Amino acid sequence: MRPHSGLSQALAHVSLSTGPLKTDINFHDDVDVSQWMLYVNDAVYAGRGQAQGIGKIFAIDGRLLATYSVHTMIRDFSSPSNSAHNAM
């Protein structure tokens, strides 16, 4: 997915709020966390205040170790003064 004009990670907790609504992960093989893994993430959808991502995690030898799905909400603060950043 291409970047959205006017949005960036720099806006997080300043004028933009995100939060996970649902996360699913399925393990398909034994995972050795001391070894390198390849993480592939696809952004399926972003719009109407939501985003959906899916991904796969592969072992160094190519075995599929796990798959996952993440559904998040995205909200623009009505005013930057309402952000969590300014509440601290």
Is the pTM higher than 0.75? The answer reads no
Q: What tokens appear for 17 in the block?
A: 């709020």
Structure confidence by residue, pLDDT tens digits, 14-73: 787 888 999 999 999 999 999 999 999 999 998 898 999 999 999 999 999 999 999 999
Domain boundaries, the chain: 22-78
Residue in the block written with tokens 């160094």 = 60
DSSP-derived secondary structure for the chain: -PPPTT--GGGBTTTEEEEEEEEEEEE-S---TTS-EEEEEEEEEEETTEEEEEEEEEETTS-EEEEEEEEEEEEE-SSGGGSHHHH-
Q: What tokens appear for 53 in the block?
A: 């991502």
CATH topology of domain 22-78: Thiol Ester Dehydrase; Chain A (3.10.129)
pLDDT given for residue 81 in this prediction: 53
